[in-house]
Chain A
Amino acid sequence: MRVLVDLNRCQGYAQCCFLAPESFKLVGEEALMYDSGPDDALKEKIERAAASCPVQAIMVEYMNGHADEMVKSGTSEAEARHGA
């Protein structure tokens, strides 16, 4: 799995840290550290984390060998608008 967090957009709500603690953790009060290449077994947890991010900063790609199965969260247009 491939995970990317737009840390310009991240506001440290930490929803992902509760839903997928294996992959997301807060350092100090609001700095997010994450695993950019987590195990496929965590798919469901990470999908939930991405979906529940209040600022939609998490992007996920599942490497199933089929491009049309890609699932993602967050949009590039929103990033551009945000000035990320």
Chain B
Amino acid sequence: MVHRADVLQSFKKNGSIVIVGASLAGLRATEVLRKEGFAGRLTVIGDEPYEPYDRPPLSKQVLAGWVEAEHTTLPRQHPLDDVDWRLGIAATGLDLRAREVHLADGQSVDFDRMLIATGVRARHWPKEDEARLAGVFVVRTRDDARLLRQKLETKPRHVLIVGAGFTGSEMASVCRDLGLTVTVTERSASPLIGALGGEIGSIAGDLQRQHGVDLRCNTTVTALEGDAERTLRRAHFSDGSTLDVDVAVIALGSIRNTEWLRGSRLAAGQLGVACDAGCRAFDINGIITDDIFVAGDVARFPHPLYAYQLIALEHWGNAVAQAEAAAHNMVNSEAERRPHISIPAFWSIQFGVNIKSVGLPPFADQVVIMQGSVEQHRFVAAYGHKGRTVAAVSFNQGRWLPYYERLIASAAAFPPTPPAYDVPIPLHPVPAKFPAANAPTSTPTIALTGYAPDEICATYLEEPPMTPVTVESGGKA
């Protein structure tokens, strides 16, 4: 009889693992696999020709010109010289039966276990001829950021940012710091509405206007107009007005990189790749796979704090924690498996304000200011769902968030007890004003994606749907 422990030891010594995706999640998983004693063949596949680098600085320090785009390579926590890095080559397909990943250069890599960490890419301007105009940018990769930085150094007369999500808002902030004239359009009633809701988002809107941004909410761009040289000259808006601009930055959220899994029979689609709390992928029938794992922005996983809804988080911290859990589970026995159930958290820096969040604000129906001063942009807001505290967001009050994290983890009543004495009691919760789940926004950092791993919206349609299916589906600004 073959003992399971022997099989595991043999796998750790002589097995092969492929990680598809060479960004933050892919790197962290690679480190943990080696740290936990995986000595076999380890291959990392990445479509960009760079060692794993950090993306949050791209819309901040790099765009501001303080840090070179090339100086964002992530530090390694473990020696990884014996890893086979296949960089600059995209994965194009997965054959589950043959246990092979197919690559863009025609080669394939076989594996015993695989981690999918292909993340997301920027959603570009939907009209292709307009997207190709000189002066139209997106920022997701190091190369994107370098190109936009070079353009900003030429002191453009008027920058248009299409979409007031976190990336768009951060870039508007940098442009104002550089002394540039900035217009931001947002199709919703306020910036950051998908991540923070309209109530708190409107405070972020005030912040933008106070710093000189021409913020136009409830407004979409209908066309980008170029001249005879195919250079951007003008933007047309949904209210019929036009504006002369020489730079347009498209910040309409992102698209999950799952096309390469089409036909793989995994539960992969526009919403991501469905997996369990142990990061194992579901197949298209809702059966868990044993050897295919998922982590990072591309994963949709169940979270107990949010009624086990499958959620997808485009958060730096989620990529780290989920990659660590996935890698641990890839090289450990069933009894030692670890769930990925950490409390979601993210930060953003814009207009001199540190915005931090714990929990899952879009799950909430109500929000209440717990402490501090909204006028001074120093406050903490708690979010509630049916009388339970589910999230908290701070503006320049980050040190209070651990207090709220404990409340969220223990499912405390909403509104919770304030830790300070600077707000009138009783507290007055108001509607959080999140857009309807099917309303497109440019702030898709959190997507509640339903319960079933094989929901029809999680599989590929032959044609893109005419109307967006979920919050993350974006569309025009």
Contacts and interface: CB of A to CB of B under 8 A. Distances in A.
Interface stretch (B55-63, B105-113, B150-158, B292-300): B55-63
A33 B60 contact: yes
A29 B349 contact: no
Contacts of B32: 76
A33 B405 contact: no
Given A76-B32, A80-B324, A33 B75 contact: no
B4 interface: no
Contact of A36 (B54, B343, B356): B54
A8 B405 CA distance: 12
Interface in A40-84: 59-61, 67-68, 70, 72, 76, 79-84
Listed residue (B70, B75, B358, B378) with the most chain A CB atoms within 10 angstroms of its CB: B75
Given A8-B317, A60-B75, A84-B320, A27 B352 contact: yes
Contacts of B81: 67
B396 A76 contact: no
Given A8-B346, A33-B60, A67-B81, A61 B354 contact: no
A36 B396 contact: no
Given A28-B396, A33-B60, A80 B342 contact: yes
Interface in A1-28: 2-4, 6-8, 10-12, 27-28
Interface SS of B by simple majority: mixed
Given A8-B347, A36-B61, A83 B405 contact: yes
Contact of B71 (A31, A37, A70, A80): A37
Contacts of B72: 36-37
Nearest to B79: A67
Contacts of A83: 317, 321, 342-345, 358, 405
Interface in B22-43: 28, 31-32
B77 A72 contact: yes
A66 to B, nearest CB: 9
Nearest to A7: B347
B68 A12 contact: no
Nearest to B76: A61
Interface in B333-386: 342-347, 349, 352-354, 356, 358, 378
Contacts of B56: 7
Contact of A31 (B73, B77, B320, B353): B353
B421 interface: no
A14 to B, nearest CB: 12
Contacts of A36: 54, 57, 61, 67, 71-73
B261 interface: no
19 contacts: A2-B76, A4-B75, A8-B356, A12-B399, A28-B396, A29-B378, A30-B396, A30-B398, A30-B399, A31-B352, A36-B61, A37-B67, A37-B68, A37-B71, A80-B325, A83-B317, A83-B321, A83-B342, A83-B343
Given A4-B75, A79-B320, 19 more contacts: A4-B74, A7-B316, A7-B347, A8-B356, A27-B354, A28-B354, A35-B66, A35-B67, A36-B73, A59-B77, A67-B76, A67-B81, A68-B79, A76-B31, A76-B324, A79-B317, A83-B321, A83-B343, A83-B358
